[in-house]
Amino acid sequence: MAALLDADRAGILAAQPTLILSNRPEAPGLAHARAAGIEAIVIDHKAFATRQAFEIAIDQEMQARAIDLIACAGFLRVLTPWFIARWRGRLINIHPSLLPLFPGLDTHQRALAAGARLHGCSTHFVTEGVDAGPLIAQAALAVRPDDNPDTLAARVLALEHRLFPASVNLVATGMARLAGEQCLLDAPSAAGALFSVDV
């Protein structure tokens, strides 16, 4: 989230951040957003009897502000088919692995345990499978012999901070779009964002 706000402040984000929404009142991003002059609200999922009731409340806040695109940054709730269908093609996520490898949690530990030589991050359209939606872009780095989960996580996070704003730009400008179960990249220059490697 901070990387998206930084990109906006630098004038290099093709979308205007309008709202930061969290389901956790203690999320540090809320204060960061408010300090940047962005509206930040909490909708605590614990206050709702069902996941869909929680998501209806989120949807109402988005509709009230005419939001066009949702970028999930550290939002660790599995979304219902109802919400995903409602925001299909306008809901993207970033994940700290080279999907389809290591969906879910503990990605850095799992990559090291598997002996991965490359690791990184992926952006994708959100669909019903967890971390299974069509890929928008990926960035990779070489796993070092002395990496541990913490050092690897820190290096991947630096890639995420570059990849997520670039991916938001691809979707916001229409250069990347969801078509069926595929992400289509319209511009030749967008293909260069699909995979980059840092050593």
* 104 CB-near residues (< 8 Å, 6+ apart): 130, 131
Could you check whether the bond before residue 100 is cis, i.e. omega within 30 degrees of 0? yes
Active-site annotation holds for 95: yes
Catalytic residue chosen out of the listed positions 45, 95, 108, 124: 95
Tokens describing residue 114: 């598997």
Unique residue bearing structure tokens 């998206």: 4
Cβ atoms of residues 53 and 83 within 8 Å: no
CA 41 to chain centre: 19
* Dihedral sign for Cα atoms in the order 67, 171, 92, 132: positive
171 Rama class: left (phi>0) / alpha (psi -120 to 50) / beta: alpha
Say which residue the tokens 């991050």 belong to.
121
| CA–centroid distance for 9 within its chain | 19
Known catalytic residues are: 95
